[in-house]
């Protein structure tokens, strides 16, 4: 059996969960290595050697050390192309271009406002930080405009890049999960017919349910 | 009639990113102007190319594509045998390249893009630069530049020995910021400074900048 790959970071991190979703879709065995961010472990010299920006996740297998969740996903999809879900990515140039276009749309248009909302509404209260109502309002407005585009697109196409669930859809799972399950902004997704249908389908996948499970507080391990 | 069309304005950083790739690959293409002052990027015809109403958008035969980094990636792979090699056929090298492309997109560009807006684009629109915002952004971008300085001390280019997409994606913001007081962020870090000088001197990049004069 292949040595499990290593993923560093807490599963509740949106970027970490993006990588976990990808590994589970591809049936790649992994070891999740905790990084105690409350103790600043991610800013210590040992961690900065593998991730110089002091962020999670980082990733190691027997031949390479990587960071940035979308780069890690692309590597996993290429290396394990022949196992697990083979339709998550494509080597066909036109299909690949469409997938990459929507991965970029996620990174450039969807992620900034949605992750700002996730931080303000899901994490700031837990961390006892004051919420910024201006940021919340601005982010909601931006995200609404993005979701209007998605509503139109998902009326033309079952998934963002075409007929198959791909990395482009997977990339959206982490932030949307928080917004739908622990904030009052879930309606932004569920009130839109096509976006709602799409969210239901992609979040219902077994791999994503496993990630959500991993995000729950784990019972303490017995000695 | 050109098969490859890029829709956009040569002043847009995102369009410049795509143009840089087109010139590096020595491809024949047509630059189709989009009059943003007149709101052409929000017209129905343009929204059919990019539903987000942003430049650039690309057409290659029947393929329509938006998002500059998806466009450069497509060009680099589809035309791998032409012009400059911008990606790697080796999976490990490609993975490292992918890491530093993500770094440009998620660590560098959020701050650099806003700095370009404060210094350059606000002026174009008749607005005033906010010095407090500039200072805050320079602080954030400075921390990123510290990581870049360490990286470029051990690697000639962002992803290794050769110029590639990870370097190219930085060119538009670097070009604009080099003409502002924020250039000190690059000048004060010797390896970053040398890298900026190297990549902005590339002939293909010169062709992109020449479009600003026409």
Return the structure tokens found at A185: 């902004």
Rg of chain A over all Cα atoms, to the nearest angstrom: 17
Give the C-alpha separation, A210 to A84, whole Å: 15
Residues A176 and A203: beta-carbon distance below 8 Å: yes
Residues of chain B contacting A57 with CB distance shorter than 8 Å:
none
Full-model pTM: 0.97
pLDDT at residue A222 in the model:
63
Question: Are A52 and B147 in contact (CB < 8 Å)?
Answer: yes
For chain A, which residues score pLDDT lower than 70? 1, 221-223
pLDDT at residue A97 in the model:
97
Query: Environment class of residue A58 by beta-carbon count within 10 Å: exposed (0-12), middle (13-18) or buried (19+)?
Result: buried
Unique residue bearing structure tokens 């602080």: B139
pLDDT at residue A219 in the model:
75
Interface confidence, given as ipTM, is: 0.96
Whether residue A61 lies within 8 A of chain B, CB to CB, comes out as no
pLDDT at residue A221 in the model:
65
If contacts are CB pairs under 8 Å, which of residues 100-129 in chain A contact chain B? 100-101, 103-105, 107-109, 112
Residues of chain B contacting A63 with CB distance shorter than 8 Å:
92
Closest Cβ–Cβ partner in A70, A79, A149 for B102:
A70
pLDDT at residue A217 in the model:
84
pLDDT at residue A145 in the model:
98
Closest CA to B212 of B48, B27, B15, B65: B15
Enumerate chain B positions whose Cβ falls within 8 A of a Cβ in A: 51-52, 63, 65-67, 69-70, 73-74, 77-78, 91-92, 94-96, 98-99, 101-103, 105-107, 110, 144, 147, 150-151
pLDDT at residue A223 in the model:
57
pLDDT at residue B1 in the model:
52
pLDDT at residue B3 in the model:
87
pLDDT at B2 over 70: no
Return the structure tokens found at A178: 């928080």
With residue A97 as reference, give the H or E element that holds it: helix A93-105
Sign of the four-CA dihedral A18, A23, A25, A29:
negative
| pLDDT, tens only, B128-146 | 999 999 999 999 999 999 9
């Amino acid at each position: 059996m292949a040595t499990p790959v290593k993923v560093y970071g807490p599963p509740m991190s949106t970027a970490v969960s993006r990588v976990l979703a990808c590994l589970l879709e591809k049936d790649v065995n992994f070891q999740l290595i905790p990084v105690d961010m409350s103790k600043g472990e991610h800013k210590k010299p040992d961690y900065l050697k593998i991730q110089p920006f002091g962020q999670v996740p980082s990733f190691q297998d027997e031949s390479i050390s990587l960071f940035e969740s979308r780069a890690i996903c692309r590597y996993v999809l290429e290396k394990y192309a022949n196992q697990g879900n083979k339709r998550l990515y494509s080597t066909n140039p036109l299909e690949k271009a469409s997938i990459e276009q929507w991965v970029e749309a996620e990174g450039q248009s969807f992620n900034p406002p949605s992750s700002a909302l996730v931080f303000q509404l899901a994490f700031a209260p837990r961390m006892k930080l004051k919420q910024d109502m201006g940021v919340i309002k601005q982010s909601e407005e931006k995200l609404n405009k993005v979701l209007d585009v998605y509503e139109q697109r998902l009326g033309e196409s079952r998934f963002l890049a075409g007929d198959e669930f791909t990395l482009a859809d997977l990339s959206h799972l982490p932030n949307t999960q928080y917004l739908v399950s622990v904030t009052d902004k879930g309606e932004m997704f569920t009130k839109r017919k096509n976006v709602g249908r799409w969210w239901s389908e992609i979040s219902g996948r077994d791999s994503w349910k496993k990630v959500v499970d991993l995000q729950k507080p784990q019972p303490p391990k017995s000695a | 009639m050109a098969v490859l069309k890029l829709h956009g304005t040569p002043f847009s950083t995102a369009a410049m990113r795509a143009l840089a790739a087109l010139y590096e690959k020595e491809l024949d293409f047509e630059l189709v102007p989009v009059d943003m002052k007149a709101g052409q990027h929000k017209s129905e015809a343009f929204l059919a190319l990019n539903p987000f109403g942003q430049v650039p958008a690309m057409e290659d035969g029947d393929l329509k594509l938006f998002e500059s980094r998806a466009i450069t990636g497509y060009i680099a792979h589809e035309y791998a045998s032409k012009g400059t090699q911008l990606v790697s056929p080796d999976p490990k090298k490609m993975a490292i390249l992918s890491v530093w492309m993500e770094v440009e997109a998620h660590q560098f560009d959020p701050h650099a893009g806003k700095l370009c807006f404060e210094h350059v684009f606000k002026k174009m629109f008749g607005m005033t630069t906010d010095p407090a915002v500039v200072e805050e952004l320079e602080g954030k971008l400075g921390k990123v530049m510290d990581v870049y300085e360490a990286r470029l001390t051990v690697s000639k280019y962002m992803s290794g020995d050769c110029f590639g997409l990870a370097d190219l994606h930085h060119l538009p913001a670097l070009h604009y910021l080099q003409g502002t007081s924020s250039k000190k962020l690059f000048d004060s870090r010797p390896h970053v400074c040398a890298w900026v000088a190297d990549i902005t001197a590339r002939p293909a990049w010169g062709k992109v900048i020449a479009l600003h004069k026409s």
